[in-house]
Amino acid sequence: MSQPDKLYHKMAHPAGVAFSVTNPLIDHWLSSWNTTNPLLDIGCGNCHNSLIAVNSGARVYATEIDEGSLQLLQQEHHDKANQLSFHQAKLPDDIPLPDNYFSGILCSEVFHFLNHEETLASIHQLRRLLIPGGKVVLTCACEESQAFKPVNLKGIKESQRQKHPDRLDPVDDFLNLIDQAISHFEPDHEAWELRDLARSIMPRSFFNFFNPGQLACAFSDAGFRIDLITTGPALYYPVWEHGDHDQVRLVAGKR
């Protein structure tokens, strides 16, 4: 199997992150389409959410970081080329798309791969891309993640904030944190496979878990109106224990 095929297979993994699951805030994203300015799906994965938008009548730009994956998506969905286009892009700096162009942006499970500086820069990029009044709809990992409570993830994040109240810093050596956390459970065979999958596809050694209020403040400081900030379950996260607050969910409008 070629490298792009391997990557696409991982993106379509049935347990896999958000790629094969409808974003819980998708109705907010769909309702932001103004029939003139397209929607943007950053980190589209296997295009599940984009296809829902297209089938609802919207025009969608879908992005991924890997050119080979985009080629596969284009081949698979060539019959929707009038409504769905694919673009290589990577937050925060490599976003070759026009200013003030999109009526709504969906960003599913991307921010937790960013460090503090990249997170703030990405928020400003999202604002640049939106029309006035346009909305960003975002989900990412929460510091209340059930799987990491045994290793006091929330305490780690609170300690970070005590030292640097204005920073949204990630947790370093995330793979070691996974091993520490998993030792507190009795995961089944699939959970161990998912741990190994995470090791094979993690792009960097760190991972960011967000405090919802802190993330909302960062968006507000960047010129957004916060329409929704909450937490919720994310049963599709590839972990061995799930909770009701694994995911941060945010909807923000460009002021």
Q: What is the pLDDT of residue 19?
A: 58
Q: Is the pLDDT of residue 63 over 70?
A: yes
Q: In what order do the strands lie in the sheet with 224-232?
A: 84-88, 60-64, 39-42, 102-108, 130-141, 247-254, 224-232
Q: What is the rounded CA–CA span in Å between residue 5 and residue 21?
A: 20
> Considering the chain, what percentage of its residues have pLDDT values greater than 90?
75
Residues 103 and 35: beta-carbon distance below 8 Å = no
Ranges of each domain in the chain: 3-254
CATH placement of domain 3-254: 3.40.50.150
Q: Is the pLDDT of residue 18 over 70?
A: no
CA–CA distance from 168 to each of 159, 160, 176, 214, 218 (Å)?
Answer: 12, 8, 20, 8, 9
Q: What is the pLDDT of residues 100-141, one digit of tens each?
A: 999 999 999 999 999 999 999 999 999 999 999 999 999 999
Q: CB count, 10 Å around CB of 161?
A: 15
Q: What is the pLDDT of residue 208?
A: 97
**pLDDT band, very low/low/confident/very high, at 238 (cuts 50, 70, 90):** confident
Q: Is the pLDDT of residue 7 over 60?
A: no
Q: What is the pLDDT of residues 153-188, one digit of tens each?
A: 999 999 999 999 999 999 999 988 988 998 888 877
Q: What is the pLDDT of residue 17?
A: 44
CA–CA distance from 12 to each of 6, 33, 37, 63, 192 (Å)?
Answer: 10, 26, 29, 16, 18
